[in-house]
Amino acid sequence: MIEQSFNELASALRRREFSSVELVSQTLKRIETVDAKLHSFITINGAEALAAAELADKRIRQGDTAPLLGIPIAHKDIFCTDGIRTSCGSRMLDNFIAPYNATVVDKLNAAGAVSLGKLNMDEFAMGSSNETSFYGPTVNPWDTNRVPGGSSGGSAAAVAAGLVSATTGTDTGGSIRQPAAFCGVTGIKPTYGRVSRFGMIAFSSSLDQGGVFARSAEDAALMLQAMCGYDEKDSTSLNAPVNDMAGGVKNSIAGLRIGVVSDYFDEGLDTKIAASVHAALAELEKLGAVLVDIKLPMSKLAVPAYYVIASAEASSNLARYDGVRYGYRADNPVDLEDMYKRTREEAFGTEVKRRILTGTYVLSAGYYDAYYLKAQKVRRLIRDEFIAAFEQVDVLAGPTSPTTAFQFGAHADDPVAMYLSDIYTTAVNLAGLPAISVPAPQVDGLPVGLQLIGNFLQEDVLLRAAHQLQQATDWHQLRPPLG
């Protein structure tokens, strides 16, 4: 059952070949066996999942044909889940039981998907390797000595290892696409505002966006379709029609203009990864797409602009964690100031502290104009450059990451090197565009990601291109040796 697509599982459930309870039970057993090696889950809610599966079976018997009904999924531990721990990978929220569901959770519950638990992540989504999690890192299913990417590493690894068919994730600067590339799965970040951020714990409010990991573009389309839509509880939610993502994937891509971004193939890119990405692009060309050379010179400024803006917003958002209302509190504080200081010192990890300090610095008097304001101006220039590019092409393409998954500890003493692993992804978030990473030919037995970037609200175009590529190739069908 673990190799079946959403459509295959839904059809089998409707034909009563097995029940949702049986499917969920088998999946929980596989997680118990395999995840001891992976550590992709922080919390497993087996009893709640089986109860939800029973309700799904009842709906199926009543004739409900919702495409996700009865199918197991899991959530990145950044989405609030009523009555279940929501830790954000941090000691700060290790004891936090959310009193409500995120809108994403409610939407997927309404669609009948069965959540099995909460997935591991870099602390407060700050990281590119999953090494900053308070609970210890998830490992890459393809090589347990390598990182799965981050911050949504647990979400990517769980799909790659066949623990669940699809998972939720969040992407602030590449945190869906980079782990998808490292783990050999499909990962899509929609247009900013397409998926509600209500109940999604904030890192950088103008950049964060929820999205999906799945084994295929078709499954990702079904999952994302259920998650999208306007939410009056989120002031940044877009009140715009949602395209038929799932139905549109089968359409031809003949004539689709794909801009190959030459700036993404510079000396910083591994030559083997460049060859892999070009091989994937050649397959799209065979399917009728038209490849066009495109330059995005402002992209070289995306990483510094991103880390100034993201750190500034993190400094503001994480000020709420002070030991007063919820979360961790230092023992026996002598006064209020001591409680504030020791709570934050003891409960935040090194990377979170680094970004809070950086963000506070760039927002301080005397530095605001020099750093934060200038970064916002660069952000606008990057956005304008993308808009101009989309007057010439329908989709932009390039590698997702400059390397394959790196070894644990490879960048432990060099945070800047870690930040540069997001060099091809951060500009997308600054502009608020949708983007997807899909498997390309592997390099030395490790997955590689092809990144496709779309125009605003054009997730359906990205998913169609990705699906047609996957119909013509088998790179997304490769499975890791683990388990």
Catalytic residues: 76, 151, 175
| Tokens read off for 67 | 């495409």
Helix (H) or strand (E) holding 377: helix 374-389
| Distance from the Cα of residue 390 to its chain's centroid | 24
What are the phi and psi torsion angles at 446 (to 5°)?
-120, 145
Beta strand 41-44 pairing with 290-294: unpaired
Q: What is the DSSP letter of 195?
A: B
User: Distance (Å, rounded) from C-alpha 111 to C-alpha 52?
Assistant: 12
Cα distances (angstroms) measured from residue 477 to each of 30, 187, 441: 19, 14, 11
Q: In angstroms, how far apart are the furthest CA atoms of the chain?
A: 70
* Number of Cβ atoms within 10 Å of the Cβ of 274: 18
| Tokens read off for 116 | 């099995």
Cα distances (angstroms) measured from residue 408 to each of 126, 377, 395, 466: 16, 36, 34, 30
| Tokens read off for 436 | 């997807």
Strand, coil or helix: what is 409? coil
Say which amino acid occupies 390.
Answer: F
Q: List CB contacts of 465: < 8 A, sequence separation 6 or more.
A: 253, 256, 258, 284, 289, 395, 452
Long-range interactions of 320-327: CB distance < 8 A, separation 24+: 321/92, 321/93, 321/347, 321/348, 326/93, 326/96, 327/92, 327/93, 327/95, 327/96
User: Distance (Å, rounded) from C-alpha 420 to C-alpha 355?
Assistant: 15
The DSSP code sequence of 45-98 is -HHHHHHHHHHHHHHHHTT---TTTT-EEEEETTB-BTTBB--TTSGGGTT-B-
| Tokens read off for 173 | 């600067």
Contact 161, 384 (CB under 8 A): no
